[in-house]
Structure 1
Amino acid sequence: MVAAFGCTLGILPHMAAAITGLAALLHTSAVAFQVLKYLGVAYLLYMAWRTVREKGTLAVEEEHSPRSARRVIASGVLINVLNPKLSIFFFAFLPQFVTPGQPNALGHMVWLSAVFMALTFVVFVAYGMFAAAIRDRVISRPRILTWLRRTFAGAFVALAGRLALTER
């Protein structure tokens, strides 16, 4: 649940950027858009490389003390801040539901973002519960881990390629 909270908090910078008009800047500035796009491509390729580089079984040592809630939350925030799909979502999807001349456009945008964050929290908690339920089955089988790593690395490369070819 702490990890889900951290991931949900990571949405805040994207929401703030959409609310403050960064979407308009990226829409009008080809250079800013290209820089953000290629940073996302580089990040995805880095994730693919890191995933393929990992070898062996997943070692989960019960003896070590668990990570602090602060560290889990910080990790979740960092993952979401560097996730380009959240920026795209907040820049492209949410503003469609706010009329430009609307009297309380900022409040409406904040409300839509809060609803999105609440739903994201629920989904991340469900993911966490599912992962906890199948954890032992996955970490005890090296073939499953190898297959999962290759699948994730391939998905990261495919997403990077698609993002690199994305036009404004």
Structure 2
Amino acid sequence: MYGIHDLTLFIISGLLLNIMPGPDSLLIMARSATQGWRAGCAAALGVGAGTMVHVTAAAVGISALLAASATAFNLVKWIGAAYIVWMGIGMLRARLKGEAASLAPKAAPAPAPYHRIFAQGFLTNVLNPKVALFFLAFVPQFISADSPNKAAAFFLLGCIFNFNSMLWCNGLALFTAFASARLKVKPLVALWLNRITGSLFVALGARLALSEQH
């Protein structure tokens, strides 16, 4: 259909690529470990919404601008890097809810509203130009040169990729929340998990800022 070929290989490759750790997975795991599976799933849905922006943009050719224009790529790159670093700093500055940790060791980290967690997942994904370039490089390999409607084929494959990604991301959220509950992660430990994740986000943001267009 639409000139799509090797669909099974595309699905398997997509699942393997989704398993690779990155800022999306780190955010989902951090939110699940510190606030439960609903928060992790909210982050995962935000990531999925961001992915659909990239899929749609690439299907209509907008993302090709990022591949062709160094200025456009650098603009999106710096905005995305700044957001990821800003979010990491926010995690580093996390405090226990209510009082200071030394005065209230049994308090829980202040929870973030689900709509804010969704927005974090969305922005973390949509402001990463590497995701747009990934779709431009990966998806066309599974579309025939004589496809009657390449945009439709691209969009369909992008939806399949995102569906599989949501299965993985939401499964990751549930697994992380379940493991945290079984291990009975204490609030202070959860707080430091937030801070460690924040440090990783700062590092990832710096790496994105220093990345080159390929």
TM norm structure 1: 0.76
Larger RCO, structures 1/2 (Cα 8 Å, 6+ apart):
1
Q: Does the 8 Å CA contact 1:6/1:72 hold for their aligned counterparts?
A: no
Which of 108, 114, 118 is residue 58 of structure 1 equivalent to? 108
Cα distance in 1 for residues equivalent to 2:199 and 2:80: 16
How far does the alpha carbon of each residue in 1:111-154 deviate from its partner, in whole angstroms, 9 at most, with x for none? 2111111111211221221133134422x2413531x2332122
Gaps (5+ residues) in structure 2?
Answer: 1-37, 97-106
**Structure 1: tracts of 5 or more residues without a match:** none
The answer to whether structure 1 residue 142 and structure 2 residue 188 are counterparts is yes
Q: What is the aligned counterpart of 2:199 among 154, 158, 165?
A: 154
Structure 1 match to 2:34? none
Cα distance in structure 1, aligned partners of 2:45 and 2:195: 28
Over aligned residues, Cα RMSD in angstroms? Answer: 2.9
Q: Structure 2 matches for 1:78-89, cutoff 5 A?
A: 78-89=123-134
Which position in structure 2 is the counterpart of 1:47? Answer: 87
Distance in 2 (CA, whole Å) between partners of 1:97 and 1:161 is 33
Partner residue of 2:164 out of 104, 110, 119: 119
Number of aligned positions between the proteins: 159
* Counterpart in the other structure of 1:129: 174
Residue 28 of structure 1, aligned match among 65, 68, 86: 68
Q: Distance in 2 between matches of 1:96 and 1:114?
A: 16
1:76-134 alpha-carbon deviations (Å, 9 max, x no partner): 54554345553343233223433555322122112211111111121122122113313
| Kept in 1: contact 2:92–2:199 (CA 8 A) | no
TM-score between both structures, scaled by the size of structure 2: 0.61
